[in-house]
Chain A
Amino acid sequence: MKILIVDDAEIMLLLIQKFVSSLGHQAVTASNGQMAVEAYRAERPDLVLMDMMMPVMDGPEAAMRIKAIAGDRWVPIVFVTGIGEENRLAEAIEQGADDYLLKPINFRILEAKIKAIQRNSDLQQKVREQSAVLAEYYERAEEEKRVARHLMEQMVNADRLADPQLEYWIDPAESLSGDLIASARTPGQVLYVMLADGIGHGLTAALNVLPLTQPFYTMTEKGFTLPEILVEMNRKVRQVLPIGRFVSTAIVAIDSVGGTLEIWNGGMPEILLLNRAGDKVAGWKSTHLPIGILSPEKFTVTCEHYEFAPGDRLFLCSDGLLESHLADGEQFGIERALAALQSRADAPGRIEGLKHALTDFMQGASHHDDVSVVLVDCSATSDAASEFVPSERLGIDYDSHLHVCWRFQLVLGPDELRNCSVVPFVMEFVKQVEALRSCQSEVFLILSELFNNALDHGVLEIASALKDVRVGMDEYLRQRFERLENLAGGEVEIGLELVEAPTGRVLRIKVRDSGRGFDYTSRLVAADDDSQTHGRGIRLLRNLATSIQYLGNGNEVVLYYLPKSASTTA
């Protein structure tokens, strides 16, 4: 240690200096308070041994100045004082001196005190170093969080959540949310909404849900089905997250035009369907394990299906909402949540009512888990519905010998039908075609309808009447799955051509299957009857297409569609 010795008596200075040096310390001397302050400034000693009574500036005054210069740095000051100066000493200690030593000096005690101060000094040094490390660590963590938050926001993409059918609210427990809400529309305008909850909260939870975003958005936009997306998300989560990490997920597909819901719940609280009055009409509890736990072979993607009534709303939330609790352990619960939603049943901003109810319930306390809520109007708002203006009917009987600009054709056998996502695959091509760019969703709808009819009724021979009844939908899907698994023969051919018609370029879509066909004359009549659920597909096609012809025994269909952009130039 470097020790500053201050005394106006030369002999004392010399004596203490000799002793301190003999202990292996470096000594610096000053003969009054003024000089001591200057010496401190120049030398920054680790310890000051100082006389009280000195000319020019006394000890206590110098001590105060030295402490002021030292600032945050701890500099122990020990007064060396004679008998009779006790009052002044007490004052000096109150003002910041650390210890004292009585004259005549007992060198044994001086040595012990220096050792004690050295221990203290080492400790102080360590604390200072550690707090510097801590501060640096804190800053780095904050910076990382800032980057992560930015990343999250980009991935979550609030723009896409700005859907007129959707209201949502996320309130993170920390600066980052481990809950994720995502929504996107398929080319056929079906709204997919996902609510995911990663383990814990903060950065690690946010990292857990990130792998879901990319498959969700890209696959939805390509028109993949919920089961296909779920399989991919499960694969991705298992690939990137360590064992023991998983993501509870609820995902729903809302087909406002068809009036149907498709639901998968893995580890989230019950998803509720509420009617206009806010009463529960149906609910779907978690029936699957969360994403990321099961291997692909064991992962189950069976979705539940439901037909909603006009005005129905879906309510999804994370357990953070229901389990928000006060010190006494009482939880907010679903009853309070539903009551809050009912209080503003039909007005926009229903979620505001829920927010207020939770704030009132928590009485100013903060919730310990991320809270997230989604409310979706199942019926399309006028905006979304207007996307389905049927294209102008031309009523032209097309000649099959029109000039063909290009042709895209593929034939799918049992293996391809089982394993390929056919329509999204064809859509990848359609997207590249300039003439079809502005009408992708119509082309997607037409292709989906035609292909599904060909596969389900043609190749797999499932009775379409099954779709009529609610329980039939599950039975239908079960049969479809089973028959597809065991499919040994049969094929579906899809052909797309852009042809030059007298009125402009027209898209010709041919779909042929190897099935027995059907009596299309009776079917088209039935489709005009609104009560028929299974005629809906054909009715939709007739609205979109300029011409539909069934050929052969009903196993082949040729449809003409006038692309939107072409109709403006024609």
Chain B
Amino acid sequence: MSPTVEINGKIAKVILAGQFDFNSHREFRQACESVIGNANVSEVQIDFQKVTYLDSSALGMLLMLKEKVNAVNKSLALVNCKDSVRQVLEIACFGKIFSIR
């Protein structure tokens, strides 16, 4: 997985691809840190369009991301969640603490 970052005005989109699991830890963190540090960005979107699979460590990474994003007063959304991804997020009831679109 190598995430790509697209910045469009105030919205930064981190586009993930393939398996999102513990092995993606470093790349995911690096991609996210770059947008968190960007003062012009007010909303961070994680795009799951191309994600085939995510596991519980990915959920853990999302929780950590949420903490960091909240700390700098930006908002966070999980977007383009397909069925397989949506299912995992639903089982964990992440809809209660994340904005999922």
Chain B residues lying within 8 Å of A483, measured Cβ to Cβ, are none
Given A246-B63, A289-B97, A293-B63, A268:B91 Cβ within 8 A: yes
Chain A residues lying within 8 Å of B97, measured Cβ to Cβ, are 289, 293-294
Which of B22, B64, B91 has the largest number of chain A CB atoms within 10 A? Answer: B91
In the bound complex, do residue B63 and residue A288 qualify as a contact, i.e. CB atoms below 8 Å apart?
Answer: no
Report B64-84 residues with CB < 8 Å from chain A CB.
64, 67
In the bound complex, do residue A248 and residue B57 qualify as a contact, i.e. CB atoms below 8 Å apart?
Answer: no
Chain A residues lying within 8 Å of B63, measured Cβ to Cβ, are 243-244, 246, 293
Given A197-B56, A369-B55, A244:B61 Cβ within 8 A: yes
- The answer, yes or no, to whether B92 is at the interface (CB within 8 Å) is yes
Chain B residues lying within 8 Å of A287, measured Cβ to Cβ, are 93
In the bound complex, do residue B91 and residue A269 qualify as a contact, i.e. CB atoms below 8 Å apart?
Answer: yes
Query: How far apart are the CA atoms of A179 and B28 in the complex, in Å?
Result: 26
In the bound complex, do residue A243 and residue B22 qualify as a contact, i.e. CB atoms below 8 Å apart?
Answer: no
Closest-by-CB residue of B relative to A286 is B91
Report A223-243 residues with CB < 8 Å from chain B CB.
243
Chain A residues lying within 8 Å of B96, measured Cβ to Cβ, are 289
Chain A residues lying within 8 Å of B93, measured Cβ to Cβ, are 266-267, 286-290
- The answer, yes or no, to whether A64 is at the interface (CB within 8 Å) is no
In the bound complex, do residue B57 and residue A199 qualify as a contact, i.e. CB atoms below 8 Å apart?
Answer: yes
In the bound complex, do residue B92 and residue A289 qualify as a contact, i.e. CB atoms below 8 Å apart?
Answer: yes
Chain B residues lying within 8 Å of A246, measured Cβ to Cβ, are 59-60, 63
Instruction: Mark interface residues in A291-319 (1 if CB within 8 Å of B CB, else 0).
Output: 00110000000000000000000000001
Instruction: Mark interface residues in B32-63 (1 if CB within 8 Å of A CB, else 0).
Output: 00000000000000000000100111011101
Chain B residues lying within 8 Å of A289, measured Cβ to Cβ, are 92-94, 96-97
- The answer, yes or no, to whether A245 is at the interface (CB within 8 Å) is yes
Closest-by-CB residue of B relative to A268 is B91
CB proximity of B47 to chain A, nearest CB, Å: 20
* CB < 8 Å neighbour of A199 from B52, B56, B67, B90: B56
Query: How far apart are the CA atoms of A472 and B1 in the complex, in Å?
Result: 50
Chain A interface, DSSP helix/strand/loop, else mixed = loop
- The answer, yes or no, to whether A200 is at the interface (CB within 8 Å) is yes
In the bound complex, do residue B22 and residue A248 qualify as a contact, i.e. CB atoms below 8 Å apart?
Answer: no
In the bound complex, do residue A286 and residue B92 qualify as a contact, i.e. CB atoms below 8 Å apart?
Answer: yes
CB proximity of B23 to chain A, nearest CB, Å: 11
Closest-by-CB residue of A relative to B62 is A244
Instruction: Mark interface residues in A182-205 (1 if CB within 8 Å of B CB, else 0).
Output: 000000000000000111100000
Query: How far apart are the CA atoms of A244 and B63 in the complex, in Å?
Result: 5
Closest-by-CB residue of B relative to A289 is B93
Chain B residues lying within 8 Å of A269, measured Cβ to Cβ, are 91
Closest-by-CB residue of B relative to A198 is B56
Chain A residues lying within 8 Å of B55, measured Cβ to Cβ, are 200, 369
Closest-by-CB residue of B relative to A294 is B97
Query: How far apart are the CA atoms of A374 and B73 in the complex, in Å?
Result: 43
Chain B residues lying within 8 Å of A244, measured Cβ to Cβ, are 60-61, 63-64, 67
Query: How far apart are the CA atoms of A67 and B93 in the complex, in Å?
Result: 65
Query: How far apart are the CA atoms of A329 and B22 in the complex, in Å?
Result: 19
Query: How far apart are the CA atoms of A244 and B22 in the complex, in Å?
Result: 12
Which of B63, B64, B67, B90 has the largest number of chain A CB atoms within 10 A? Answer: B63
Given A289-B96, A293-B97, A319:B91 Cβ within 8 A: yes
Report B9-45 residues with CB < 8 Å from chain A CB.
22
CB proximity of A289 to chain B, nearest CB, Å: 5
Closest-by-CB residue of B relative to A331 is B84
Chain B residues lying within 8 Å of A245, measured Cβ to Cβ, are 60
Instruction: Mark interface residues in A363-382 (1 if CB within 8 Å of B CB, else 0).
Output: 00000010000000000000
Query: How far apart are the CA atoms of A294 and B63 in the complex, in Å?
Result: 11
CB proximity of A211 to chain B, nearest CB, Å: 16
B residues at A contact (CB < 8 Å): 22, 52, 55-57, 59-61, 63-64, 67, 90-94, 96-97
Q: List 5 A-B contacts (CB under 8 A).
A: A248-B91, A267-B93, A286-B92, A289-B93, A289-B96
Extra A-B contacts (6), CB below 8 Å, given A289-B93, A290-B92: A199-B60, A200-B22, A200-B57, A246-B63, A266-B93, A329-B52
For the complex of A and B, 4 pairs with smallest distance between CB atoms? A244-B64, A244-B60, A267-B92, A199-B56
